[in-house]
Chain A
Amino acid sequence: MLSSDQSIIPNVSPAIEILSADKTYSNGTRALEPVDLKIQPGEFVTLLGPSGCGKSTLLKMIAGLLAPTDGRILIWSKPIDRVESSGHKLAFVFQEATLMPWSRVRANVCLPLDLHGDAKDEAEKRVNDSLELVGLSKFADAYPRELSGGMQMRVSIARALVTQPDLLLMDEPFGALDEITRNKLDSDLLDLWEKKKLTVVFVTHSIYEAVYLSTRVIVMAARPGRVVDQVNIDEPYPRGHDFRVSSQFARYAKTLQDSLLRAAAMGAPAHSASDVSTGSASDEPTNEAAQ
């Protein structure tokens, strides 16, 4: 169904369709201007932007954790609460590992299968496979507190993969990690994406992470949150460590940086000037309350 070279096939129905979805919180904060976006199966799309740009809000709306104020979001042509009938699965990875501290790694990874009521022996096999994928087979019987931050995040990813999803939504999953660990997890994530033919939507505020990972970067801006630009990263996979220090990499990074700077300098579109005047009064935007 998916092509092996991750290229976009035009006549396949998109994995995600965002049709003019926007979000205004009940306190009146405009978190996100209407967004139109299609994501094809097999894409690795990154939502890039400063805090307050609504990137996490958009991801949570795709996951069904937040309802759009207006507009629609379809996952494999189905509304979020009927995704299962499409035969596809999605999994969400949070900013923090959000593991159960009272359970061993194995039980944590098994949680979604337990909640779904899957058979024990089949579940155990999938847990083992999943831990193998993230390289944590040896730590199956450890408690989360015995693991480093990076390893906890791997457990969280294993928990997402155990349901065998085709769509992985990741909300700044490596933001709290040091750069070396983050680079390692980024390249491991790309391996998984290729091996499992996943569709990934990844939220980050790191330009470098966006360039390294993505087939396409959606650039967003704050006050009010909106999509300002899209940049395709036309680089072949697998992307090695050399890519991180190559001149193409630097060019893509500059394109994204210029785009972000331009959006920040331009300010908000004229029709929401009232939002801007209230929004820019405070230093920290309040419209990422959902985080």
Chain B
Amino acid sequence: MKHQKWLLPLIVAVFAIALWKGLVVALDIKPFLLPGPDLVVQTLIKDWGLLGSALFNTLRITFFAFLAAVVLGSLIAFAFVQSKWIETAFFPYAVLLQVTPIVAIAPLIIIWVKNPTVSLVICATIVALFPMISNTTLGLRSVNPGLASYFKMNRASRWQTLVRLRIPSAAPYFFGGLRISSGLALIGAVVAEFVAGTGGTGVGLAYQILQSGYQLNIPRMFAALLLITVAGVLLFVLMNWLSKLALGHWHESEVKHEE
């Protein structure tokens, strides 16, 4: 039972890769249409200098965007729960962040902000921000009314109520937000790089994919794609682990149940 969690997906992966390789060989598909899995890994190793630094640059954008989304999202959520007026006045504009496609506003941001790294971080932050705002706001509001009365009856200060009641109550929602937001920060970073499409120093994985497309270097394109996917999965795993660390001992979602 314990090993099934990673064993089953692993078996699926082995079969899928075997099928991929089998098809490529059996149908004699050319590498510039679909490279085999072995060629992708070879290219990854051969081009590591190029791809490794591109991965580093993309992850850097992702990291700063995610950090900004977490900090800004939490602050905005705190502001929202302070008064219904603030939330009513500003929530529609938070939704605006969510519904505006980033590809549509990225060119504008890239024109306005001279520093390319900063402009990319802003784009990716816009993508990652909304789940943090909405989840944390929901969490800060999800206080057990009985406990809230208890705090009130014991004349708890606003600060005590925030630290001892609201923030712990919000934690499960906050960590749910982290999981969504971390993935979106990566997607936002890659999309912004596509739109920016700039070369020079500090290029990311999206630029490598674009370049590989122009040069019909499909194995390198696959290698870059593989890196993005692996980075995304690792981010998710990391967030899961953080969530387990913080909530594992008390929240139903993370507590192990007997089967």
Query: Which A residues fall within an 8 A CB radius of B?
Result: 63-65, 92, 94-96, 98, 100-103, 111-112, 114-116, 143, 145
Q: Which of B130-182 contact A (CB under 8 A)?
A: 144, 146-147, 149-156, 160, 164-165, 168, 171
With A101-B251, A102-B168, A143-B249 already in contact, the answer to whether A65 and B155 are too (CB < 8 A) is: no
Partner of B255 from the list A64, A96, A111, A145 (CB cut-off 8 Å) is A145
A98 with B250: CB separation less than 8 A: no
CA distance A148 to B149 in the complex (A): 23
For B168, list chain A residues within 8 Å (CB).
Answer: 100, 102-103
Assuming A145-B250, A145-B255, is B154 touching A98 (CB within 8 A)?
A: no
Does A64 lie within 8 Å of B250, measured CB to CB?
no
Which residues of chain B are within 8 angstroms of A95 by Cβ–Cβ distance? 146
Decide if A94 touches B149 in the complex (CB within 8 Å).
Answer: yes
Q: What CA separation (Å) do A114 and B151 show in the bound complex?
A: 11
Q: How large is the interface on B (under 10, 10 to 19, 20 to 34, 35 or more residues)?
A: 20 to 34
Q: What A residues does B249 contact at CB under 8 A?
A: 102, 143
Flag if B154 contacts A112 (CB, 8 Å).
yes
Q: Known contacts being A143-B250, A145-B255, is A100 close to B147, with CB within 8 Å?
A: yes
The distance from the CB of B22 to the nearest CB of chain A, in whole angstroms, is 50
The answer to whether A63 touches B150 (Cβ under 8 A) is no
Q: How far is the CA of A100 from the CA of B168 in the complex (A)?
A: 9
Residues of A within 8 A of B252 (CB): 145
- Judged by DSSP, the binding face of B is helix
A115–B154 CB distance below 8 A: yes
Residues of B within 8 A of A111 (CB): 150, 154, 164
Q: Which of B151, B171, B250 contacts A115 (CB 8 A)?
A: B151
Is A65 a contact of B152 with CB atoms below 8 Å? yes
Question: How many contacting A-B pairs (Cβ < 8 A)?
Answer: 47
Contact, CB under 8 Å: A98 / B150:
yes
* Chain B residues within 8 Å of A116, by CB: 154
Considering the chains assembled together, what is the distance between the CA atoms of A25 and B153 in angstroms?
A: 20
B146 contacts A115, C-beta separation under 8 Å: no
**Can you report 22 residue pairs joining A to B where beta carbons are below 8 Å apart?**
A63-B153, A96-B146, A98-B146, A98-B147, A98-B149, A100-B164, A100-B165, A100-B168, A101-B251, A102-B171, A102-B249, A102-B251, A103-B168, A111-B150, A111-B164, A112-B154, A115-B154, A115-B155, A115-B160, A115-B164, A143-B249, A143-B250
> Are the C-beta atoms of A94 and B250 separated by less than 8 Å?
no
Q: What are the residues of chain B within 8 A of A92 when measuring CB–CB?
A: 150, 153
Interface centre among B168, B171, B249, B255 (most CB of A within 10 A): B249
How distant is B139 from chain A, measured CB to nearest CB, in Å?
Answer: 13
Q: Given the complex of chains A and B, what is the CA–CA distance between A112 and B153 in angstroms? A: 10
Query: What is the CA–CA distance of A141 and B167 in the complex, to the nearest angstrom?
Result: 22
Known: A101-B250, A102-B171. A94 touches B154 (CB 8 A): no
In the complex, what distance in Å separates the CA atom of A250 from the CA atom of B132? 60
Q: How many angstroms from the CA of A143 to the CA of B165 in the assembled complex?
A: 16
A93 and chain B: residue at smallest CB distance: B150
CA–CA, A92 to B249, complex, Å?
28
Bound-complex Cα distance A94 to B171 (A):
25
Measured in the bound complex, the distance between the Cα atoms of B26 and A185 in whole Å is 75
Chain B window 72-87, contacts with chain A (Cβ cutoff 8 Å), 1 for yes, 0 for no: 0000000000000000
Instruction: Give the contacting residue for B156; candidates A63, A96, A115, A145; CB below 8 A.
Output: A115
Which residues of chain B come closer than 8 Å to A112, judged between CB atoms?
Answer: 154
Measured between beta carbons, the chain A residues less than 8 angstroms from B165 are 100
- Contact: B250 with A65, CB < 8 Å? no
CA distance A145 to B251 in the complex (A): 9
Tell me the complex Cα distance, A209–B14, Å: 65
- Neighbouring B residues of A96 by C-beta, 8 Å: 146
Q: How far is the CB of B254 from chain A (nearest CB, A)?
A: 11
**Chain A residues with CB below 8 A from B153, complex form:** 63-65, 92
CA distance A172 to B146 in the complex (A): 14
Known A-B contacts: A94-B146, A115-B155. Give 17 more (CB < 8 A). A65-B149, A92-B150, A94-B150, A98-B149, A100-B147, A101-B250, A102-B168, A102-B249, A102-B251, A111-B150, A111-B154, A111-B164, A112-B154, A115-B160, A116-B154, A143-B250, A145-B252
Residues in B whose Cβ lies below 8 Å from that of A100: 147, 164-165, 168
A101 to B248, CA, bound (A): 12
Which residue on A lies nearest to B160, using beta carbons? A115
